[in-house]
Structure 1
Amino acid sequence: MIKAIIFDLGAVLIDWHPKHLYKKIFSNEADIDYFLENVCTSAWNEEQDGGRSLKEATELLVAEFPHQEENIRAYYGRWEEMLAGAIDGTVEIFKRLKDSGNYKIYALSNWSAETYPIAVKRFEFLNWFDGVVVSGAEKLRKPFPEFYQLLLDRYNLKAEEALFIDDNLRNVEAARSLGIESIHFQSPEQLEMDLKQYSVL
């Protein structure tokens, strides 16, 4: 029986993407893709999710790509511009689950400890959770099993009584390997259908 719902945040409840910023900086899609695939990469960003400081991360890349210094510094200097807004359909589902009173609701997010407070100021619903575990603060991140276990242990949850929602299939599969029922998020509409299949909505 499901007693706890665990949400990822980025691309599930919040429309965050570096492209929202870099569309303002580069004049064409090819330049944006090149920059995000070769300079400010996903792998580089995940190190900040794992606890590396934004300053250290930025200086490492500036030293490696000095001709891209301005664009690299924009990544965290203008980070808030990567937040396009809430994904309203998912927030509405979150509110319905919360208002039902049937579930404890948690967030398990790969997110820098330095940028997460910016999101909290902007999105009121981030204060609705019964508990939040942010990777950058813990220096642990998805898909490492210890990160999921940290949330389970901290809030006295049983894996078999939890349902996890994430847009990244790698993270979903990691949760399933721990015995946590999981939904691979693709849209609010699909999420609602899946939650009905679990008799959660």
Structure 2
Amino acid sequence: MSDLKFVWFDFGGVLSPPIPALFEQYQAKTGLAPRVLQQAMRDVADDLGVPMLAPVESALLTEQEWGQRLEQALRRRYPQIDLSRARLQTFGEQWFAGVPANAPLVAAVRALKRAGWRVGILTNNVVEWAPYWRAMVGLDEVVELIVDSSQERTRKPQAAFFQVAIERSGVAAKHSLLIDDVLENIEAAAALGWQVLHFTDNHQAITQLQRLTGVSLLQPVGESA
């Protein structure tokens, strides 16, 4: 058993399906290839001098403003592009439509809570997307805290964002665990004294989390929490 007191879960890529899978699902809905959409996202961010998703994750732009700029960026690079199926100004609603949560990790959150652990979500996210992703994971009544970059105007991997989590939870970095799929975020948290678990797949993460907490999280096939 470690000296952990609070377990923080990332949303995108941990409690949700992997990010590449989300882009592929969005392509199926809209026809926009991941590389094309990601380049447009980078173009919008470059105009502001920030990382790819920071314009909306730090609430520098509203979802509508961001969607308008995405459309402009796409049309600049691809004048003949077909955007008839894409609803860029209400991006989140379309992005999350039909997307399931990562059930084994959601079950792990619930199991930890039942075992008496303090659990929260530490996410780079978007103001207008909250109704969709929070309904998707269904953990509002389970987690103690949700710290969302778009509400704080700072985001992982910035130290200020991790400090918000420490202040809200009242738990020191050395007693806090971040589970995240983005190595940059893991390295930033570790540098600040956090315990970290770099998520690569469900079995790896759940096995490590079980070892760290002493809570039985590996379930027989076909059994749900």
The TM-score bracket by the shorter chain reads 0.7 to 0.9
Q: 1:76/1:55 Cα in 2 relative to 1: closer, same or farther (>3 Å)?
A: closer
Measure how far apart 1:69 and its partner are. Answer: 7.7
When you count strand as a share of all residues, which structure comes out higher?
A: 1
After the TM superposition, which of the residue ranges 126-135 and 114-123 deviates more from structure 2? 114-123
TM-score, with length taken from structure 2: 0.78
Does the aligned pair in 1 maintain the 2:10–2:179 contact within 8 Å?
yes
Instruction: For structure 2, list consecutive stretches of 5 or more residues without a partner in the other structure.
Output: 46-50, 216-225
Alignment match, 1:14: 16
Equivalent residue runs for 1:79-158 within 5 Å: 79-83=92-96, 84-101=99-116, 103-158=117-172
Post-superposition Cα deviations, 1:133-184, rounded to whole Å, max 9, x if no partner, equal 1101111100001000011012211111111100111101110001000000
Q: 2:74 matched to which residue of 1? A: 65
Q: How far 1:78 moved relative to its partner?
A: 4.9
Unaligned runs of 5+ in 1: none
Residues 69 and 77 (structure 1 numbering): CA distance in 2 closer, same or farther, change over 3 Å? farther
Letter in 2 for 1:91: V
> Using the alignment, how far apart are the partners of 1:125 and 1:113 within structure 2?
17
Q: Which residue of 2 aligns with 1:37?
A: 38
- Alignment partner of 1:108: what SS? strand
Shift in Å at residue 10 of structure 1? 1.1
> How big is each residue's C-alpha offset from its partner over 1:76-120, in whole Å with a ceiling of 9 and x where there is no partner?
53533433211111111111101001x211111000011112222
Q: Is the 1:61–1:72 Cα contact (8 Å) retained in structure 2?
A: no
Moved over 6 A (4+): none
User: Does the 8 Å CA contact 1:8/1:109 hold for their aligned counterparts?
Assistant: yes
Quote the offset at 1:193 in angstroms: 1.4
* 2:127–2:151 contact (8 Å) kept in structure 1: yes
Contact 1:166 1:185 in 2 (8 A): yes
Instruction: Name the aligned partner's letter for residue 12 of structure 1.
Output: V
8 Å CA contact 1:144, 1:174 repeated in 2 = yes
Distance (whole Å) between structure 1 residues aligned to residue 71 and residue 105 of structure 2: 37
> What is the aligned residue count?
196
Q: Secondary structure at the match of 1:114?
A: helix
| Higher alpha-carbon deviation: 12-21 or 68-77 | 68-77
Q: Decide whether the 8 Å contact of 1:7 with 1:106 is kept in 2.
A: yes
Amino acid at match of 2:115: S
